[in-house]
Amino acid sequence: MSDWLQFKDDTHTPEKIAAEINTRLATRQANPVPDIPAYGTMSIMPKLTDHDTQQLAHHLSQANQLYTSFTTDPNLADSAATRIPLLGPLWKRIRGEAHNLILFYVNRSMAEQNQLNTHLIGTLNELARQNVALQQQVQQLQAQIDMQKQVASQ
């Protein structure tokens, strides 16, 4: 056993700890965590034309248009306090810096929220695309069943 791990404990010896680490490594190597592929930059919204999916198409379209449209620019309206000689410009500057401080933290939070939104909208687009493909497949299979019923009844 190497001397890189030394301490005095009868219950947890370096040999037992090293054996546990080797066991866990072997288990992890035998059962690797699967790589989860990304959808790419963004899964494109599918064309939903079926009458039953109009509501889904509308809301999915709205989500695709809005998911990155956050505006956090400072919007400071003039007030009577900013027009006071000498103190007005000082108050305007303090007020602006206070807003910038708040916007710093809001923008950090919004960046994380935007990443989440990108993943969620991409997932919704992909699920909608798969749903449309499954509906088309079901319709084709139903048409085949109907055709086989007609052939069998003749």
Q: What pLDDT sits at residue 145?
A: 94
pLDDT confidence of 142, banded at 50, 70, 90? Answer: very high
50 DSSP 8-state letter = S
Higher pLDDT: 151 or 73? It is 151
* H-type alpha helices, the chain: 14-30, 54-66, 87-153
Neighbours of 139 (CB within 10 A): 11
Contact 125, 45 (CB under 8 A): yes
Res. 32: pLDDT tops 80: no
pLDDT digits (tens, 9 = 90+) for 64-92: 877 776 777 777 777 887 778 888 888 88
Q: What pLDDT sits at residue 144?
A: 94
Res. 13: pLDDT tops 60: yes
Question: Does pTM top 0.85 for this prediction?
Answer: no
- Most confident range (mean pLDDT) of 6-15, 36-45, 64-73, 82-91 is 82-91
Neighbours of 67 (CB within 10 A): 18
